[in-house]
A and B are shown apart, each in its own frame.
Chain A
Amino acid sequence: MYKIGVIGDRESILGFKAVGIEVFPCDSHEEAEKVLKKIAEEGFAIIYVTEQLYKDMLQQVAEYRDSRLPAVIPIPSKDGSLGIGMEGVKKSVERAVGADILFGGE
Chain B
Amino acid sequence: MERLNVNPTRMMLTTLKRRLATARRGHKLMKDKRDQLMKGFLELARENKRLREEVEKELAKVYESFSVASAVMSQEVLEEALMFPKQGVELEVSGKNVMSVDVPVFDYKTTASDSADIYPYGFASTSGELDAAIYGLSGVLPLMLDLAAKEKEAAMLAAELEKTRRRVNALEYVKIPQLEMTIKYIVMKLDENERGNQTRLMKVKDMILKEAIEEKRERDEEAYGA
Contact = CB atoms under 8 A, between A and B. Distances in A.
A96 to B, nearest CB: 4
B156 to A, nearest CB: 7
Given A15-B134, A18-B85, A19-B141, A92 B155 contact: yes
A3 B89 CA distance: 8
Interface in A68-104: 68-69, 71, 73, 75-78, 80-81, 85-86, 88-89, 92-93, 95-98, 101-103
A68 B45 contact: no
Contacts of B91: 1-4, 45-46
Contacts of B102: 68
Q: Which of B66, B148, B159 has the most CB of A within 10 A?
A: B148
Interface stretch (B20-28, B57-65, B178-186): B57-65
Given A19-B134, A76-B60, A102-B46, A69 B104 contact: yes
A66 B138 contact: no
B34 to A, nearest CB: 10
Contact of A18 (B56, B95, B120, B147): B120
Interface stretch (B1-9, B47-55, B212-220): B47-55
B148 A96 contact: no
Given A45-B104, A78-B63, A14 B79 contact: yes
A4 B157 CA distance: 23
A92 B119 contact: no
Contacts of A48: 144, 148
A80 B57 CA distance: 10
B145 interface: yes
Contact of A73 (B103, B133, B151): B151
A14 B45 contact: no
Contacts of B165: 96, 98
B127 interface: no
Q: How large is the interface on A (under 10, 10 to 19, 20 to 34, 35 or more residues)?
A: 35 or more
A66 B156 contact: yes
Interface in B57-87: 59-60, 62-63, 66-67, 70, 78-79, 82-83, 85-87
Interface string B31-45: 000000110011001
A40 to B, nearest CB: 13
Contact of A76 (B49, B56, B120): B56
28 contacts: A4-B91, A4-B145, A12-B63, A14-B70, A15-B134, A18-B87, A18-B134, A19-B85, A19-B87, A19-B138, A20-B88, A65-B155, A65-B159, A68-B103, A71-B152, A73-B152, A75-B144, A76-B59, A80-B60, A85-B52, A85-B56, A86-B53, A89-B48, A92-B158, A96-B162, A97-B38, A102-B42, A102-B49
Interface of B: 37-38, 41-42, 45-46, 48-49, 52-53, 55-56, 59-60, 62-63, 66-67, 70, 78-79, 82-83, 85-93, 95, 102-104, 106, 110-111, 118-120, 133-134, 137-138, 141, 144-145, 147-149, 151-152, 154-159, 161-162, 165
